Amino acid sequence: MTAQAAEQRELAVVIGLEVHVQLETATKIFCGCSTRADEDEAPNTRTCPTCLGLPGALPVLNEGAVEAAVKIGKALSAEIPEQTTFHRKNYYYPDLPKNFQLTQYDAPICADGSLEISVEGTRRSIGITRAHLEEDPGSLQHKGGSIDTADYTLVNYNRAGTPLVEIVTEPDFRSPAETRAFLAKLEEVLAYLGVFDATRDGSLRVDANISLVDAEAVAEDGSISDEALESANRTEVKNISSHKGAEKALAYEVTRQKNAIQRGRVIEQETRHWDETRGITVSMRSKEAEKDYRYFREADLPPLEVSDWKAKIPIPELPDARRDRFASEYGLDGESASKLTSTKAVADFFEDVAESFDPDLAATWVADNLLGELNYRDMEVTDISDRLEEFTTLISLVDADEVTVKNAEEIVLRSMLDEGDDPETIIDREGLGKADDDAIGAFVTEAIEENPDAVEDYHNGEDGALNFLVGQVMQKSRGSADPGTVNALLQDELA
Amino acid sequence: MSYNIFLNEEQIDGAADGPLSEMTIAIKDNISTEGVATTCGSNMLASYVPPYDATVVSKIKDAGATIVGKVNMDEFGMGGTTETSAFGPTKNPVDPERVPGGSSGGSAAAVAAGKADLAIGSDTGGSVRNPAAFCGVVGIKPTYGLVSRYGLIAYANSLEQIGPLANSVEDAARLLDVISGQDPHDGTTRSQGDNSAYADAADGDVSGMTIGVIRELFDGADKRVVETVEQSIEALESQGAETIDVSLASLEHAVQAYYVIAMSEASSNLARFDGVRYGLSGGYDGNWNETFADAREEGFGDEVKRRILLGTYALSAGYHDKYYKKAQDARAWVRQDFDNAFSDVDVLASPTMPVLPPKLGESLSDPLQLYLMDANTVPVNLANLPAISVPAGEADGLPVGLQLIGPQFGEESIIRAASAVEN
Ligand SMILES: [Zn+2]
């Protein structure tokens, strides 16, 4: 094909993902060591004979990790096998304590699932080929260069044996934006399941396979023939660690591949490294031959029967279902329902509040006021979930006209978050208790006496005069008066 | 006379009281002892000191036995004569010009030479029974899953079990009572041995027992061995046992299947010995991959390298189905054959070893000959069954072992039958 012809080709993007997720279990997948890194922990201290791969030590399967994987399988509508089996993936690498990795091969814990995403209003279902359990290797620190050039390399096995689930998708993504939406959705679902902690360093690691094919090869329903897929050279992009990073890395890679094709170049089949700080992908150069991992069954891990686990293990209501229920049960609009189901903690908090109040009021306070103020302070609902009672007290005070909405929002709530006091203490301290009608009446009389010009303007039909007088009364009451009441009292008094 | 039995004579005292107090015991050097070197008979682990005790070692200490040392073995258990040890061969106390068998040669020799009352060995394809037969002592290979392997440095983990050696069936059974039972550190262990009373089964009473004689395992054996074993089986008949001939067609493939599986697993089990934490690390040129290769070239002996290479080959893409998968099929067939046989008999009998103990150096030059020596013992490991080797008598002044094989967790049957051989 000439460069001219190449330039005119319409290209379609094909992406598949491999997502490594660290599971939030108490102990490692094959031993009793904790998965949680203590702050400033010394290297190689959170270890035992098993996760160090010491001669003679044996793995024992942590059923909690299997349970977490079954939950993921249910959330992804995947098939769960009759029993677990593990294989050894044999390869030499300095971060592998045994020089093989325990993983699943021909009977993954989840197969044939899917996850629905929505990008700019279009819903798409992404096929999940499989998800399997495996152990995380240790970590390496190369001193004075890369693995090939370093003076020396330090090995830390604290991470070794942390349970991982590797989720492999079909090549169903047609844009980098879709991968971002998928990963964000996946993180949301995993967090809902309580099996994943996004704040943990390295808890999400993504590899992406990306190629460009002739747009004509894409069928109406978005499917692509195997032939077209196989004929296109693809690159594997490694070192992606977030959904935002995935979109950036793949957008870069799309542009790079398009430019190359338009210049009539052939895309090299290779592994590329996403350099987050430079915002580019870099060839890893090591043109590795197809690796032969010599998989075989791990006899030390007898099969665990899990055929009835799918039925036995409950999972919480997932974000999509909860969003729909919030809309129908509480009559919320789509935006509020989305906001209020953004995390399980927010949704739980909202439902606790909605138990005692009108859903609209609860939604306004949680979705608009609380989330807004938390976001401004870089806080999460989980930071205040033990203060549910104080929060409902505040709403009841507003609801009972004990404090104005404005004061409740701008002074009491902010002070609750900044200083940690309860609403009643703040209202007392700031003198924000709503003024009674007698007191307001006195302020109204005062304002009329002090501002004869405004009174005259009012009688002459000037629009701004009443607002000015309301403002004067509000100032006298230090905001504790209800503007509606003031308005009505003034009109009565001036009539 | 030094037989080169011990690699380390550091004494480890047990609890003051227990079922094995007053007893001394030798431990094969592939079983982890906290703070005491555990070499596997290899230069690769010459300076390795485990930070933990194998489960069997803890149990033996709790039972009050005194560990008198760690004993010699074929390197990583790979051999049947104890000559592949990096620390020199062990001599057979019965005839010091001959091998003691292997790979637990040091264990059997320690008991035969009176250096220990009891010994612990491990049996991947006959490594307890073979030296027991050659040294004229008793050795038991338990059912897979009866004894914890936690702390046993793996050679072929789907095949091997730790087993006891002793001068009498009853003593071996007493030790088995101590070491058997489920272990939370070994997911393959089962509860059948939790409250065992194997020693009580050594009552010498075989009346009414049916013994199946595996004809295939007599066919290729040395005539002197066959004669001695047949006499001991006749002695059991005279005590009231019934014998019938049994044929197991699958056994002709057992040696090939065994070696493919054992070497494949070994290639993976020994991968961790790369010079980073074990062996003579450092001082090599090149990248880490080349450094690993150099450390392994230097740290492993010839037989270990041979088995790692063959095992790597058998698991490789393009050969996996031809070798590894086929071997697994054969293994399933062997199991099936044994299962069928045990519907008619209580125990099965054969010579433990088809030959008399060879002279030192005699067999080492021909690996294939060495592998064929295992023909009678490896089927038991493929089928995960229990088996015992008990002295059947002597031929030309050399010990001959009778092998008795039981159904899964049928330790009591083989112990009972073997104790009658001692009558
Ligand atoms: Zn551990």
DSSP B153: P
Chain A residue whose CA is closest to B315: A294
Residue type, A255: T
Global confidence as pTM = 0.88
Contact B50/A97, CB-based, under 8 Å? no
DSSP A215-231: GGGB-TTS-B-HHHHHH
Residue B255 lies in a domain: no
- B-chain CB neighbours of A49 within 8 Å are 50-52
For residue A2, what pLDDT band results from cuts at 50, 70 and 90? very low
Residue B40 lies in a domain: yes
- pLDDT averaged over every residue in chain B: 96
- B-chain CB neighbours of A147 within 8 Å are 288
- Coil, strand or helix: which one is A65? helix
Ordered structural domains, chain A, with CATH? 3-310 (no CATH), 319-430 (no CATH), 437-494 (1.10.10.410)
A176 CA: distance to closest CA in chain B (Å): 35
Of the ranges A201-205, A249-253, A383-387, A491-495, the best mean pLDDT one? A249-253
Question: How many domains are contained in chain B?
Answer: 1
> How far is residue A65's CA from residue A304's CA, in Å, rounded to a whole number?
12
CATH number at residue B134: 3.90.1300.10
Residue B107 lies in a domain: yes
Give the per-residue SS3 of A77-116. Answer: CCECCCECCCEEEECCCCCCCCCEEEECCCCCCEEEEEEE
**Facing A300 at nearest CB: one of B187, B274, B316:** B187
Residues B133 and B101: beta-carbon distance below 8 Å = yes
pLDDT tens-digit profile of A389-404? 898 899 888 888 888 8
Whether residue B158 lies in the annotated active site:
no
pLDDT tens-digit profile of B300-315? 999 999 999 999 999 9
Choose from B33, B268, B289, B326 for mutation: most chain A CBs within 10 A. Answer: B268
CA of residue A60 to ligand 1 center, whole Å: 10
**Facing B272 at nearest CB: one of A58, A98, A296:** A98
Residue B402 lies in a domain: yes
Residue B126 lies in a domain: yes
pLDDT tens-digit profile of A402-460? 888 888 888 889 999 998 888 888 888 877 776 667 778 888 888 899 999 989 999 88
Quote the pLDDT of residue A285: 65
Whether residue B61 lies in the annotated active site:
no
Residues B376 and B350: beta-carbon distance below 8 Å = yes
**pLDDT at B148 > cutoff 50:** yes
Among B103, B267, B350, B363, the one annotated catalytic: B103
B276 in contact with A, Cβ within 8 Å: yes
**Facing A92 at nearest CB: one of B48, B188, B271:** B271
pLDDT tens-digit profile of B368-386? 778 889 999 999 999 999 9
For residue B65, what pLDDT band results from cuts at 50, 70 and 90? very high
Quote the pLDDT of residue B24: 98
Give the per-residue SS3 of A256-295. Answer: HHHHHHHCCCCCCCEEEEEECCCCEEEECCCCCCCCCCCC
- Containing structural domain, residue B367: 6-203+349-421
Give me A472's structure tokens. Answer: 């004067």
Residue B56 lies in a domain: yes
Distances (CA, A) of B137 to A20, B166, B198, B296, B358: 54, 6, 18, 36, 17
ω into A125 cis (within 30 of 0): no
Residue B210 lies in a domain: no
pLDDT tens-digit profile of B305-355? 999 999 999 999 999 999 999 999 999 999 999 999 999 999 999 999 999
